[in-house]
């Protein structure tokens, strides 16, 4: 089934690699105009080049998503360049691992507050039929002893999505979450673990019933569905994309 996003405008907060870039590519291939941001300019420009010529217009801007004012500027600029916003994807993560001030600060500042701020900045541009998608994690569905801040904040995103969905339903704006499992891509957390922490990598791999790590494109396909008219009656939901990993 081919989903068309012709005429739609996508904004991905955190879209220069991995899941964010895969989502941007999927929407561009479906005909959408897309905007992405990231903190690092080199990776951002490489991603921008990868998106050009796929669909509609492409916009890319450097943005530190831990900076509230920068988030508001980026979303406003993306809306101006694209002529509006139909889909907002909040994908960035500070990935706070340690149960200390630094770990909690990283997860709250990026995973949670960047999501809240980008949503607030996008709201004036979202018309009936628009949608917001938060990228959470299966770590938000169960205890996360190895990464307490990350798990707790991803759980907060799931709750926030339900609250937003209820508040925005009268406006015809849908809000959903995707909870990926272990997704491997070059330069990502699991690529690093495979090379530098094989015990963790192999243990995690054995815990996935489907027998492999996931791919960013598999998360992107679900995002495309959730933003499409096929999901017009879906809001306030969290979909795990994990090959059954959370079932164990």
Task: Give the pLDDT score at 87.
Answer: 98
Rounded Cα–Cα distance for residues 45 and 37 (Å) = 10
Burial class (CB in 10 A: 0-12, 13-18, 19+), 42: exposed
Task: Give the pLDDT score at 186.
Answer: 93
Confirm whether 221 is a catalytic residue: no
Options 16, 33, 136, 228, the catalytic residue: 136
Domains contained in the chain, CATH given: 9-185+214-243 (3.40.50.720)
* Residue ranges in the chain modelled with pLDDT below 50: none
Strands 9-13 and 87-90, by their bridges, are parallel
What strands lie across the sheet with 131-135, from one edge to the other? Answer: 58-62, 33-38, 9-13, 87-90, 131-135, 174-180, 238-241
Task: Give the pLDDT score at 5.
Answer: 97
Task: Give the pLDDT score at 248.
Answer: 82
Rounded Cα–Cα distance for residues 240 and 101 (Å) = 29
Confirm whether 2 is a catalytic residue: no
Rounded Cα–Cα distance for residues 162 and 175 (Å) = 7
Options 74, 150, 160, 201, the catalytic residue: 150
**Phi and psi of 80, rounded to 5°?**
-65, -45
Task: Give the pLDDT score at 103.
Answer: 95
Task: Give the pLDDT score at 55.
Answer: 85
Options 137, 139, 144, 228, the catalytic residue: 137
SS (H, E, C) 181-244: CCECCCCCHHHHHHHHCHHHHHHHHHCCCCCCCECHHHHHHHHHHHHCHHHCCCCCCEEEECCC
Task: Give the pLDDT score at 1.
Answer: 74
Rounded Cα–Cα distance for residues 182 and 188 (Å) = 10
Rounded Cα–Cα distance for residues 126 and 51 (Å) = 23
Give yes or no for a contact between 173 and 128, defined as CB atoms under 8 angstroms apart: yes
Per-residue CA distances from 11 to 23, 94, 123, 240 (Å): 10, 19, 12, 22
Confirm whether 144 is a catalytic residue: no
Confirm whether 150 is a catalytic residue: yes
Options 139, 144, 154, 182, the catalytic residue: 154
């Amino acid at each position: 089934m081919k989903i068309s996003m012709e005429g739609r405008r996508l904004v991905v907060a955190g879209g220069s690699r991995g899941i964010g870039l895969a989502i941007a590519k999927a929407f561009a291939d479906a005909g959408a105009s897309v905007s992405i941001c990231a903190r690092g300019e080199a990776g951002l420009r490489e991603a921008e080049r990868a998106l050009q010529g796929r669909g509609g217009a492409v916009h890319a801007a450097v943005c530190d998503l831990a900076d509230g004012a920068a988030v508001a500027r980026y979303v406003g600029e993306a809306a101006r360049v694209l002529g509006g916003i139909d889909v907002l994807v909040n994908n960035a993560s500070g990935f706070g691992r340690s149960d200390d001030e630094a770990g909690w600060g990283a997860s709250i500042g990026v995973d949670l507050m960047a999501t809240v701020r980008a949503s607030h900045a996008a709201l004036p541009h979202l018309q009936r039929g628009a949608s917001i998608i938060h990228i959470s994690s299966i770590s938000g569905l169960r205890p996360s002893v190895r990464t307490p801040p990350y798990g707790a904040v991803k759980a907060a995103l799931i709750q926030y999505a339900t609250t937003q969905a209820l508040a925005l339903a009268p406006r015809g704006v849908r809000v959903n979450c995707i909870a990926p499992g272990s997704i491997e891509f070059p330069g990502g957390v699991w690529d690093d673990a495979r090379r530098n922490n094989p015990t963790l990598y192999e243990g995690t791999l054995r815990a996935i019933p489907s027998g492999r790590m996931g791919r960013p494109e598999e998360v992107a396909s679900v995002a495309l569905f959730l933003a499409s008219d096929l999901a017009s009656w879906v809001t306030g939901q969290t979909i795990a994309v994990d090959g059954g990993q959370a079932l164990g």
